[in-house]
Amino acid sequence: MTCEEATKQLYEYLDNELEEGDYSKIKGHLEDCRKCCEKFEFEQVLKKVVRDRAKIHRVPQSVRDNIVKQLSEMHEENSNVEVFVPKLEERSTKGVFQLFKLGRTYMVEAALILLLISILSIYFTFPKPGSSPHIVKDVAERHDNFVNDNMHLDLVSSDRNEIRKYFKDSQRGGFAVDVPECKGRGIKIFGCKEFNLAGKKSAYVGLKGNHNKISLEIINGSGMNINKLKHESFKGRPYYFGRYKGYNVVLWRDGKALYSLTSTMNRKSLMRVADESIPPYPH
C-alpha cells in the first residue's frame, strides 16, 4: 500500500469504518512508514482534542464551512495534508498535552487550530443577547441620555408633591401616576419630563441612588405584552427583565400602569428599589 492510498482512507481508519482487510493493510503500512504514522497520530490526537475541548451546541453549518475554508487555506500554504474538521461536541480537559508529543512540523498548525476552537467555544458558550422589546430599547436609550446629561427635564425638583402636581396638571388619562416616595436606599428625585413610549404618553422621573442614576418611567400598559421577558417574583410582586446597551431594565404592572426602572444596578437591587421606593398605587 502506498502513502497516498493510506492517506485517502485516513479518517475511515481513525473512525473504524474500514473492512478488516483494508484496516490490516493500513495498519501494516503505518508500522513501516514513519511519515504516515506521524501524520495519523497527529490527526488522531487532534480529533480527540477538538472533540473534548469544544463544548458547542448546534453549531451552524455556515460556521463549520468557514472553519474548513480557513484551515484549507492554512494547509495549502504549508503542506498538502488533508484537513480534518470533526463534529464539535463535548468539552473535557483530557488529551491536550498529547499534542506536544508530536513532531515540530505540526505544532504551529495545532496551536492555530486550538486557538480557533477556543474562540468558537467562547462565542457559542456565552449567551447572545436576543432582540429586546421596543419598550426595553426605548427606556434604555432614554436612560443613556439621562446618564450622559443629554436630557432636558421639564421640571427639575426633588419635591415629590411638586412633581406629582405637574403630572396631575397635565391631565394625563388612562392611569394614575404615583411619584416614588424614595424611602430607604438613599434614593433622591432629580426631576421629571413627559415622553412618548411605545406610542403612548409616558411619565418620566429621574432618580439617583447612592452610586447610580436610575430612570423611572410609567405608561398606560393596557394591551402591552411583556410576558415573553424573563421574570420572577420579589416579595409577592412579579417583575420582568430586559437588558440593552449595558443597562438592566426591570418592569412591573400596577393596575393599568406599567412601570420600568433602568440602571446599571443589578436586577435584584432594582427590585429592592421598586419595593422600597415605589409602593403600589392606592386604587
| pLDDT on residue 170 | 65
| pLDDT on residue 173 | 55
Residue 238, domain extent: 134-277
| pLDDT on residue 154 | 93
Domain presence at residue 282:
no
Q: Considering only CA atoms, which of 111, 104, 33, 129 is closest in space to residue 71?
A: 111
30 & 147 share domain: no
222 & 156 share domain: yes
154 & 60 share domain: no
Q: What is the CATH number of the domain that holds 242?
A: 3.30.200.100
Domain count, the chain: 2
Name residue, grid cell 478488516.
20
| pLDDT on residue 278 | 80
147 & 84 share domain: no
Domain presence at residue 242:
yes
Domain presence at residue 23:
yes
Sheet with 155-156, strands from edge to edge, namely 155-156, 188-197, 200-208, 213-220, 257-263, 247-254, 237-244, 230-234
| pLDDT on residue 198 | 77
User: What's this model's pTM, rounded to 2 decimal places?
Assistant: 0.53
104 & 208 share domain: no
213 & 169 share domain: yes
Residues of the chain with pLDDT under 50: 55-57, 81-94, 96, 99-100, 127-132
152 & 265 share domain: yes
159 & 273 share domain: yes
Domain presence at residue 81:
yes
Give 213-266 pLDDT, tens digit per residue. 999 999 888 878 888 888 999 988 899 999 998 999 999 988 888 999 999 999
| pLDDT on residue 83 | 42
| pLDDT on residue 179 | 80
Domain presence at residue 31:
yes
80 & 209 share domain: no
Residue finishing a domain among 92, 125, 158: 125
46 & 146 share domain: no
Domain presence at residue 117:
yes
146 & 264 share domain: yes
| pLDDT on residue 86 | 45
212 & 230 share domain: yes
| pLDDT on residue 28 | 86
Residue finishing a domain among 125, 156, 190: 125
Domain presence at residue 109:
yes
Residue finishing a domain among 66, 98, 125: 125
Domain presence at residue 283:
no
- For residue 234, report the phi and psi dihedrals to the nearest 5 degrees: -135, 115
Give 194-204 pLDDT, tens digit per residue. 988 877 888 99
Query: Cα 134 to the chain's mean position, in Å?
Result: 18
| pLDDT on residue 126 | 54
